[in-house]
Amino acid sequence: MRFDLAQLCDALRIPRPEPGDARSSVQILGVNTLALAEETDLCFAEHDDQTEAVLASRAGAVLVPEDFPAIAGPLLLRSPTPRQAFFQIAERFVPASEIQGIHPSAVIDPSAVLGRDVAIGACAVIASGVRIGDRGVIGPGVYLGPDVTLGADCLIESNVSVHRDSRIGERCIIHSGTVIGGDGFGFVWDGGGHRKIPQLGRVVIEEDVEIGCNACVDRATLGETRIRRGTKIDNLVQVAHNTDIGAHVILVSQSGVAGSSKVGSGAVVAGQVAISDHVEVGAGARIGGQSGVTKDVPAGASVFGTPARPIKDTLRELAALAQLPALLKLVRTQGRELERLRERLEALERERPN
């Protein structure tokens, strides 16, 4: 991919550089950070406090806000939304899939139905009854179990396992090592041991969902575990059986949602959050990192801590806790003063004439 600056500005609908500027002939061959950029890279900056970083950068051009200071460094391209404009161009530099066609080592059951222009990598296994939508890309070592369905334009990266009867909507991305539709963690004590509860449900993932590396989404005991459209799940996230994750939710790395819980649309769950079973997190809620959610969270609330409670309350409690050593020292000092006063009063009482 190659852009001259006129093409780039036209693509972003921003003003072209002045024709007399010697820097306007630069060719953009990639995107990068300000610190690492070369003369053919495009970068972006959003705030005035990045002026020195822009000035020191070797970038060919930098997307900046319309009110960014004028400097003598790289060519500045002014945009009302420099971050969005930068990533609009960055999308053009995403490498094409290295998987083309169907590798001869792939094992595909004769009953599987493949859409147009499907690509399947080495050693992938496509079981009976699988349906793969048009332009699907299946990476090396992927396992698609019986009756799995993938919508059009899905990317399933290497070594992903999608177990029986799972449903994945259009334009989903599942990154390497993730397991979709493994058994939920269901056991009951029968007096002599933990008896396994059959996990007979399935996983349904709606369109435009992205799931990071080494995440797990468990099948339902009965019915469905569902992840609704547009949700983005980070690496190493656990979604347990019969959970319902709403639309456009963010689940950050190492968070976990226990069985039969619900997370409302637009909620943000930060890293290492644990959500207990049968809990409902309302739409638009925000849960701070490492929180333990043991009861329902209202829609739009911001909570933090273990157990999770309104973030302002938790921060006040933490501020008070930080003062505890000084308070303990004060209490000990006052205790010693009181003891001395008690001893003095006792002495005076003994000295009083009868």
The pLDDT score that the predictor gives to residue 350 is 82
The pLDDT score that the predictor gives to residue 54 is 95
The parts of the chain modelled with pLDDT lower than 50 are none
CA angle, residues 11, 15, 18, in degrees to nearest 5: 120
The pLDDT score that the predictor gives to residue 354 is 65
pTM: 0.86
Sign of CA dihedral 240, 255, 234, 208: positive
The pLDDT score that the predictor gives to residue 130 is 98
Active-site residue (options: 47, 241, 248, 278): 241
98/121 Cα distance (integer angstroms): 9
Architecture of domain 160-312: 3 Solenoid (2.160)
List, for residues 273-298, the tens digit of each pLDDT value.
999 999 999 999 999 999 999 999 99
According to DSSP H, which parts of the chain are helical?
5-12, 51-56, 82-90, 311-322, 324-351
* Residue 241 annotated to the active site: yes
The fold for domain 3-93 equals 3.40.1390
Pick the closest to residue 174 from 119, 128, 137 (CA basis): 137
Sign of CA dihedral 21, 22, 25, 27: negative
CB atoms within 10 A of CB 326: 9
What are the boundaries of each domain within the chain?
3-93, 160-312, 323-354
138/154 Cα distance (integer angstroms): 8
